[in-house]
C-alpha cells in the first residue's frame, strides 16, 4: 500500500502546475468528469457516470437526505437505509419512554411489522440537476439595486421551480452557487413514511459521548437503520400500514475488505455550509467577536443541563438530545478557533488579499470592477459584527432553547394576535398549537429552564453591545426575570393546555400579559431596533461576496474551484491516512475494539459499554468481521467533509460501501474555512464494526441478508 502512495504522489508531482490540489474540495457530482482523471490517478476505478448519470442508475441514486440535516444511503432493494446514530437520535429518543428505553437498550425490529414509524421524518432522493443561471438572472441589469434584483430573482426562481415540478409528485429547489454567480435546479423525490429498523444502545452508538466528540482516536458505533416505505405504486405516500418497502433505483454494495493506509476513498453526501472564499475580515469576526461569546453562552447552558440530568433519570432522557446538539457546536467552535489561530488563517487570508490587491491595482479595468471590494469589507465588518452578534444572541435565546419558554411564547403569539385583533382563531389552529406544545412539554423541565434562563440572560446582557439590548434589563435583573417567566403559564403545561381548551378573548389577554410573552416582546423589540441597518449591511455583504468570488476566479483562471457547501449533493475524495496532531502526537488511521476496552477501564461514564460487548471481546467472538484478530471500529481519511455529511457513505475505489462518515478530528475542524490535507481528517465508522454489532452483538443478522456484499 505504501508503494501506491508513492506512485500516486509521483503522478501528481508530474501533473501540470495547473492541475487540482489533491483532497481539498466538495465537488458537484454531475461535474465529476472534471475530477475523474485525478481520482483515477489516486486509485479510483470508477468512471464519472458510475457516480452521476442522467441516463442510467448511478451511485447518486443511492444517496439521500435523511431528515433535515443528515445524509443516508440505501443498502437493500427493500428500502433499507443506513445513517448515523446521532442522525437517528431524535427519532430513537422520540420513540423511547422510561418503560421502552431504546436509548439505553437499543432497538431491533424482528420483522417488518415491528418497524416503528417516525412521524415527520423524511428521506429525500435526488432525481436530477440542471444549470438555470440564465433563467434566474433574466431581467437583471448591472446597476439594479440589490432589493429589486432580489425580487426579480425570486420571481424567476418560483417560476423555474413550478415548471420543473409540473404535474409530477417531485419537488424542486433552485440553489445559488459560488456566492450567487451560478444557480442550479434540483429535482427531488421526498418520502414521508420512514420507520426505525435498528439502533444499538447509546453506549455503543454514542460511545465516547461528548468527551470524544470531534476527537480522534475514536471508537463510536455511530449508526442506525431505517426503512423507507412507499405506496403500492412505489411512490411516496403518507404513513399507512398498507405501504410497502420502497424499491430504490440503486442500493450500495458493501465491501468487508476494509481500508488501508493510502487507499482511495470518497464520500458522497450533503455537506451543509462552508466558508472557504470569505475575506479575512469575516474570519476575524467569527473567531474574535462571535465564537468566544457563543462558547461562553453555551458553556452556561451545558453546565445547568449536565447538573440536572445527572440528578434525575427522567430529566436525563428529556434533555439528552438538547444537550447533545448544544454541546456539538459548542465544542466545534472551540476546535475551529484553535485551528484557525494555529494555522494563522487570518494572516494567510491577508497575504492572499495583498496579492489579489496587487493584481487588481495593476490594471485599470480590474480596478474599476474589483477595486472597492476589500476596502468596503474593511469598512463594513466592524459594525456588521456588532449587529450580527446581537442577532446570534437573539437566536440562541429564542430559537435554540436558551430560554425555553420563548419557544412556547412564539408558538402561542399568533393565536393571541388573531384573537385580540377581533378575529376568532379556528379550533383547528388552536388544536395544532396544542399538539405542538404537547411535544414541547414532553421534554421540558421548568426548574432546569429557570436556572438556564437566568444564566443565559446574564451572558446576553453582559455580552451584547449596549445599544442592541433592552434598556429595561440589566445583568443583575436576570435571576428575577427567570423566576418570573418560569412561574408563568408558558412554563406550566397544565395551565397552558387548560387555557387552550377554553380559548377566548380573556385567555388571550391573560396570556398576552404572561411574563414569558412580555420577555419575548422585549427581546424582539431590541432585536428589531437595528433590523433595517442589519439587513442593509447583510445585503451589501452578499453583493460584495458575489463580486469577491468572481474576482478570485478571475485572479486564478487555471484553478479548479469547487463551490462552498450549501446542502446539495457533493463528492469529496482523498486517501486513508493517519496524521501528526498539532501537539506532535502521531495518530494511526484506524481504531479497535481493544481500545474501547482500554477507554472503558478509565471509569469515565462516556466510556461505559454494555456487558454483552465486553463479553464478545473476552471470547473474541468476532466471526468474519475481524482483521488480524481485531475488530476495527473507525478510520480516518482526508476527505473534505462538514456538518451534513453525517451518515454519508464512504466508498472505496470500486464504489463499494466501506463505512459511514460521522465526524472530523479536532486539529482540522477549521476546514470549513481553510482545508489542510496534512491535518484535516474525516472520521468514518468501519462498516465491519457496524455489521459485527448488528450480527454478533444484537443477534439481528437477518438484517444483513437483504444487503449486497462484494465478493
Residues with catalytic roles: 86, 222, 646
Stretch of 277-285, 320-328, 437-445, 463-471 contacting ligand ARG, by CB under 6 A: 320-328
Nearer to ligand ARG, 71 or 280 (CB): 71
- Minimum distance of ligand ARG from residue 511's CB (angstroms): 35
| Residue 645 binding target from ligand GLU, ligand ARG, none, CB below 5 to 8 Å by type | ligand GLU
Nearer to ligand ARG, 173 or 325 (CB): 325
Angstrom distance (rounded) from CA 502 to CA 624? 63
Residue, CB closest to ligand GLU? 646
Structural contact between residues 590 and 687, judged by C-beta atoms closer than 8 angstroms: no
| Residue 599 binding target from ligand GLU, ligand ARG, none, CB below 5 to 8 Å by type | none
Q: Which three cell numbers stand for residue 462?
A: 453582559
Judged by CB under 6 A, the chain residues 657 through 676 that form the site for ligand GLU are 662-664
189 contributes a contact to ligand ARG by CB under 6 A: no
209 contributes a contact to ligand ARG by CB under 6 A: yes
641 contributes a contact to ligand GLU by CB under 6 A: yes
| Residue 209 binding target from ligand GLU, ligand ARG, none, CB below 5 to 8 Å by type | ligand ARG
Give the long-range contacts of residues 285-288, CB within 8 A, separation 24 or more.
285/381, 285/384, 285/385, 285/388, 286/336, 286/673, 287/336, 287/337, 287/340, 287/341, 287/345, 287/346
Nearer to ligand ARG, 217 or 643 (CB): 643
User: For every residue of 129-191, which 3-state class applies, written as one string?
Assistant: EEECHHHHCCCCCCCCCHHHHHHHHHHHHHHHHHHHHCCCCCEEEEEEECCCCEEEEEEEEEE
* Helix and strand totals (H; E) in the chain: 26, 22
| Residue 320 binding target from ligand ARG, ligand GLU, none, CB below 5 to 8 Å by type | none
Could you say which of 156, 645, 652, 684 contacts ligand GLU (CB under 6 A)? 645
306 contributes a contact to ligand ARG by CB under 6 A: no
214 contributes a contact to ligand ARG by CB under 6 A: yes
Cβ neighbours of residue 151 under 8 Å, at least 6 residues apart?
none
- Minimum distance of ligand ARG from residue 683's CB (angstroms): 8
Angstrom distance (rounded) from CA 519 to CA 509? 16
- Looking only at the bridges linking them, the beta strands covering 123-131 and 244-245 are unpaired
663 contributes a contact to ligand ARG by CB under 6 A: yes
Taking the chain, what is the end-to-end CA distance rounded to the nearest angstrom?
21
Cβ neighbours of residue 406 under 8 Å, at least 6 residues apart?
397, 398, 399, 516, 519, 520, 523
Structural contact between residues 93 and 439, judged by C-beta atoms closer than 8 angstroms: no
| Residue 642 binding target from ligand ARG, ligand GLU, none, CB below 5 to 8 Å by type | ligand GLU
646 contributes a contact to ligand ARG by CB under 6 A: yes
Q: Which three cell numbers stand for residue 386?
A: 456588532
642 contributes a contact to ligand ARG by CB under 6 A: no
Cβ neighbours of residue 75 under 8 Å, at least 6 residues apart?
62, 81, 82, 251, 252, 254, 657, 707, 708
269 contributes a contact to ligand ARG by CB under 6 A: no
Could you say which of 24, 39, 86, 668 contacts ligand ARG (CB under 6 A)? 86
Stretch of 47-55, 132-140, 179-187, 640-648 contacting ligand GLU, by CB under 6 A: 640-648
Structural contact between residues 572 and 671, judged by C-beta atoms closer than 8 angstroms: no
642 contributes a contact to ligand GLU by CB under 6 A: yes
Could you list the residues that contact ligand ARG (CB under 6 A)?
Answer: 86, 206, 209-210, 213-214, 324, 327-328, 643, 646, 663
Could you list the residues that contact ligand GLU (CB under 6 A)?
Answer: 641-646, 662-664
Amino acid at each position: 500500500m505504501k508503494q501506491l502512495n508513492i506512485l500516486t504522489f509521483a503522478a501528481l508531482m508530474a501533473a501540470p502546475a495547473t492541475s487540482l490540489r489533491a483532497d481539498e474540495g466538495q465537488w458537484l457530482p454531475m461535474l465529476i468528469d472534471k475530477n475523474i482523471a485525478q481520482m483515477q490517478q489516486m486509485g479510483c476505478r470508477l468512471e464519472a457516470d458510475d457516480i452521476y448519470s442522467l441516463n442510467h442508475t448511478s451511485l447518486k441514486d443511492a444517496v439521500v437526505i435523511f431528515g433535515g440535516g443528515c445524509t443516508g444511503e440505501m443498502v437493500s432493494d427493500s428500502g433499507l437505509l443506513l445513517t448515523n446514530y446521532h442522525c437517528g437520535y431524535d427519532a430513537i429518543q422520540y420513540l423511547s419512554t422510561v418503560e421502552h428505553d431504546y436509548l439505553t437498550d437499543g432497538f431491533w425490529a424482528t420483522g417488518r411489522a415491528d418497524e416503528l414509524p417516525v412521524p415527520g421524518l423524511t428521506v429525500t432522493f435526488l432525481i436530477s440537476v440542471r444549470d438555470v443561471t440564465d433563467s434566474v438572472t433574466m431581467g437583471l441589469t448591472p446597476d439594479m439595486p440589490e432589493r429589486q434584483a432580489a425580487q426579480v430573482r425570486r420571481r424567476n426562481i418560483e417560476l423555474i421551480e413550478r415548471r420543473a415540478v409540473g404535474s409530477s409528485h417531485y419537488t424542486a429547489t433552485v440553489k445559488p452557487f459560488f456566492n450567487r454567480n451560478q444557480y442550479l435546479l434540483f429535482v427531488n423525490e421526498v418520502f414521508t413514511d420512514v420507520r426505525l429498523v435498528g439502533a444499538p444502545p447509546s453506549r455503543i452508538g454514542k460511545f465516547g459521548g461528548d468527551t470524544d466528540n470531534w476527537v480522534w482516536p475514536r471508537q463510536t458505533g455511530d449508526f442506525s437503520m431505517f426503512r423507507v416505505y412507499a405506496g403500492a405504486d412505489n411512490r411516496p405516500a403518507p404513513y399507512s400500514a398498507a405501504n410497502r418497502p420502497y424499491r430504490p433505483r440503486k442500493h450500495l454494495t458493501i465491501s468487508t475488505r476494509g481500508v488501508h493506509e493510502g487507499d482511495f476513498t470518497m464520500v458522497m453526501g450533503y455537506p451543509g455550509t462552508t466558508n472557504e472564499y470569505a475575506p479575512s475580515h469575516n474570519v476575524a469576526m467569527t473567531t474574535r467577536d462571535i465564537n468566544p461569546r457563543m462558547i461562553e453562552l453555551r458553556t452556561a447552558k451545558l453546565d445547568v443541563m449536565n447538573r440536572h440530568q445527572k440528578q434525575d433519570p427522567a430529566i436525563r432522557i428529556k434533555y439528552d438530545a438538547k444537550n447533545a446538539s448544544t454541546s456539538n457546536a459548542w465544542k466545534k467552535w472551540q476546535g475551529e478557533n484553535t485551528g484557525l489561530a494555529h494555522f494563522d488563517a487570518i494572516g494567510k487570508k491577508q497575504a492572499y488579499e495583498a496579492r489579489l490587491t496587487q493584481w487588481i491595482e495593476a490594471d485599470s479595468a480590474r480596478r474599476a470592477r474589483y477595486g472597492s471590494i476589500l476596502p468596503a469589507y474593511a469598512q463594513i465588518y466592524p459594525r456588521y459584527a456588532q449587529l450580527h452578534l446581537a442577532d446570534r444572541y437573539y437566536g440562541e435565546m429564542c430559537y435554540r432553547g436558551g430560554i425555553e419558554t420563548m419557544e412556547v411564547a412564539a408558538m402561542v403569539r399568533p393565536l393571541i394576535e388573531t384573537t385580540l385583533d377581533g378575529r376568532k382563531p379556528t379550533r383547528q389552529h388552536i388544536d395544532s398549537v396544542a399538539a405542538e406544545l404537547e411535544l414541547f412539554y414532553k421534554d421540558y423541565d421548568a426548574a432546569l429552564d429557570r436556572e438556564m434562563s437566568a444564566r443565559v440572560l446574564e451572558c446576553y446582557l453582559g455580552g451584547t453591545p449596549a445599544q442592541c439590548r433592552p434598556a429595561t434589563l440589566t445583568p443583575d435583573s436576570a435571576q428575577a426575570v427567570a423566576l418570573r417567566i418560569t412561574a408563568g403559564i408558558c412554563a406550566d403545561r397544565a395551565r397552558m393546555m387548560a387555557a387552550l381548551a377554553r380559548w377566548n378573548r380573556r385567555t388571550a389577554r391573560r396570556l398576552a400579559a404572561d411574563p414569558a410573552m412580555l420577555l419575548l416582546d422585549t427581546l424582539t423589540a431590541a432585536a428589531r431596533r437595528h433590523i433595517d441597518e442589519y439587513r442593509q449591511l447583510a445585503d451589501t455583504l452578499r453583493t460584495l461576496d458575489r463580486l469577491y468570488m468572481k474576482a478570485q476566479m478571475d485572479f486564478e483562471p487555471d484553478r479548479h474551484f469547487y463551490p462552498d457547501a450549501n446542502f446539495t449533493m457533493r463528492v469529496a475524495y482523498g486517501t486513508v491516512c493517519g496524521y501528526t496532531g498539532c501537539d506532535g502526537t502521531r495518530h494511526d488511521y484506524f481504531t479497535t475494539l481493544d481500545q474501547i476496552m482500554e477507554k472503558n477501564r478509565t471509569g469515565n461514564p462516556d466510556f461505559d459499554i454494555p456487558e454483552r460487548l465486553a463479553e464478545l471481546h473476552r471470547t473474541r467472538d468476532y466471526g468474519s468481521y475481524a482483521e488480524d484478530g481485531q475488530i476495527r471500529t473507525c478510520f480516518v481519511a482526508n476527505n473534505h467533509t462538514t456538518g451534513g455529511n453525517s451518515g454519508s457513505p464512504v466508498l472505496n475505489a470500486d464504489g463499494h460501501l466501506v463505512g459511514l462518515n460521522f465526524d472530523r478530528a479536532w486539529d482540522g475542524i477549521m476546514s470549513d474555512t481553510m482545508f489542510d490535507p496534512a491535518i484535516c481528517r474525516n472520521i468514518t465508522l468501519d462498516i465491519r464494526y457496524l455489521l459485527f454489532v448488528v450480527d454478533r452483538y444484537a443477534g439481528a443478522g437477518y438484517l444483513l441478508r437483504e444487503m449486497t456484499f462484494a465478493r
